[in-house]
Each structure stands twice: as C-alpha cells, then as structure tokens.
Amino acid sequence: MATKSPSPYSTGHSLQSLLLTSQGLSPPKRRRSSAPPPPSPAARHPLGPPHHFSLLNRPLPDGFRSLKPWESPLPFDDFLFSADARSAEAILTSSRAPVTADVLLRLPDVRLVVSTSAGLNHVDLAECRRRGIVIAGAGDTKSEEVADLAVGLLIDVLRKVSAGDRYVRRGNTSNFELGNKRVGIVGLGRIGSKVAKRLEAFGCTVLYNSRKKKPYISYPFYSNVCELATNCDALVICCGLNEQTRHMINREVLLALGKEGVVVNVGRGPIIDEKEMVQLLVQGELGGTGLDVFEKEPNVPEEFLGLDNVILSPHTAVFTLEIVSDLCDLIVGNLEAFFSNKPLLSPVLDE
C-alpha cells in the first residue's frame, strides 16, 4: 500500500493538545498539600486531535479516549472549565498549541506536560515548575532527520540545486561548493551536534555559538553570535526560541556574514529578524538562505517566492513516517511511565 509523508499543515484544527485523566493507574502524588483530591476514576481524556497518532491512522492505547472541543457548542475557553477538561492530569501538546499559565490555571489537576516538539518555547516552563508539573520532551527522536535537512538546505542554497533548471535556461550556472566552507552552528545541542558531524564529512570547518562553551568539544567557540558570523561563510540555526534568542540573528549579524553569506534555519522562525533578512536578500547584501521555519507560520514573505537564492521548506524537517512512529512510541512510553509512577523516558530537566 502506498503511503505519503505527512504534512504539518494538514490537520483540520489548530489545537493539537491532549488532556488526560487516569484509569486504573495512579499518577504521582501531588506536591502541594493544599491541592484538592484527585478526580474519581474515569477514562483518560484527550483534548484535541492526537495529531501524530492520526497521521499514521494509529489508535490511542486502551484507556484513552478523545475529547473533541471543536465538536462542543461551547467556546474553547468555556470548554476548559467543563468537568471533563478540569479533571485532566496530563497534556500532550505540539509547538502550535501553547501551554500558558492561563491554560494551567483552568486545569488544576494537570501534573504532566508531554511535548511532541524539540523546542519548548510554547510551554510556560516557569509556571510548570511553580505548580510541580513535570515535562517530557521529544528526546532524540528528531535530531537525525533535522540535521539531514539542515545540511540539505545548505547544499541546495550553495549549489543552487532547486534553482538549477532556471539557471541553465538563463545560461547562468554559477554556484559555490560546500567543502572548505566555515560553518557556524548556533545551538550545539542534539541537533546542532549532528549537523556538525555531517558538515565535517564534507570537509567544512565547524565553529559554534551556544549559551556556554561545551566541555570536550574542539570546535572554536564564540560567545557572541555576531563575531561568529564575521568568521563564517554560513550560519546554521539549531537553537531553541526564548526571550534571549528571539531576533538574535538581526541585521548586524546578517551583514557580518557578508554578501556571499548563507543562513539556514531549522530552529524557530522568530530567531531571525525576518523583515531585515528579506530586505538584505532583495538588496543583494546576503548570499542566500534555506528555511524550514518562518517567523509567522504558515505565512511566508512574498519576496521569498521570487528569489532563486532562497530555499523554502514547509516545516517538514521532522515529518517523516519514521519520526512520527518513533514519537508515538515515546509519547505512549512517557504517559504509561507517568501513570505507573515510573521515571519518564525523556524528561526535560531544569538547567
């Protein structure tokens, strides 16, 4: 039977959170003595379509049933005050469904947040910590494929693979090689480290910027991302989004890369000041870019569409059937571990 890779924009509803209450298993005891007693046993209640399971036509395990707020006559905010929603003990969420302090206030029994994305900018981590809520992330399920796409985008921009047909028809076949390039990686975590490994195989010199210097890493470290850009031919953005990294790649950094510099972003769109990048690309002050994420997804600046040195991907770095299957296994494993008083498989730890 033929199958096709899923699209992140194919879901019919923007909410991709899942609320759950336990049946037959006892969740960890509350950390706040003033909290009300746990709800009476009921089916575990998901809120919103379990997107990763539906992509594979894979049912949720026994003991889970789906609440469907989009079928409710109540507005979503009112739905959160319903008895079913308020009895939830866990939330399964994607990057498109923020878990805010307001949401958590309306769901007083929540003790676990499971995120399907590598980044956590959509989860109010401080509020979760304050409420004693534990968090499980995507672990290492997505790192290999995201690293593959990051390098693929870089090759495409430098070698003009996607623009090749148009260039040949115009009689212009100039491009640049990847080997011997100095590539700066912004965020040398799980994904960034795998990007670095791949780039080394191409003969690139790897440099990096991170919150702090990594012990036992031989790549040159730059605490200032603008200095990193000054010493690189290309930047690959792999870090998470937070208040410190929002618009970190600004006009100054982009100009430091120079007219032949290339930026690849597989992190989060708002890490780059997209308006400034568009202007520099149009003016010929930046060599090119490869983007899997955008500042205001799913909207893409119209100027990008007419530029041969811009390669666009619809946030599909992590949407392969293999990743989705592995992530489903991890989600189930984390939920079952939590409701069995066992350690989470992929806990997000305080730094």
Residues acting as catalytic residues: 268, 297, 315
Contacts of 318 (CB under 8 A, 6+ apart): 117, 118, 142, 145, 146
Q: Rounded to an integer, what distance in angstroms lies between the CA atom of residue 276 and that of residue 247?
A: 10
DSSP notation for 220-275: -B-SSHHHHHHT-SEEEE-PPPSTTTTT-B-HHHHHHH-TT-EEEE-S-GGGB-HH
Burial call 325-338: b when 16+ CB within 10 Å, e when fewer? ebbbebbbbbbebb
Look up residue 153 and give its two tokens. 């985008």
For residue 172, the SS3 value is coil
Residue 282: exposed, middle, or buried by beta-carbon count in 10 A (0-12, 13-18, 19+)?
A: middle
For residue 205, the SS3 value is strand
For residue 39, what is the DSSP state?
A: P
Amino acid identity of 278? V
Q: Rounded to an integer, what distance in angstroms lies between the CA atom of residue 43 and that of residue 66?
A: 9
CA dihedral 144, 149, 155, 157 (to 10 degrees): -150
Q: CA-based angle 258:262:272, to the nearest 5?
A: 95
Please answer whether residues 70 and 46 qualify as being in contact, where contact means their C-beta atoms are separated by less than 8 angstroms: no
Report H helices in the chain: 51-55, 76-79, 83-86, 101-106, 125-131, 143-159, 164-170, 190-201, 225-230, 251-257, 274-282, 321-339
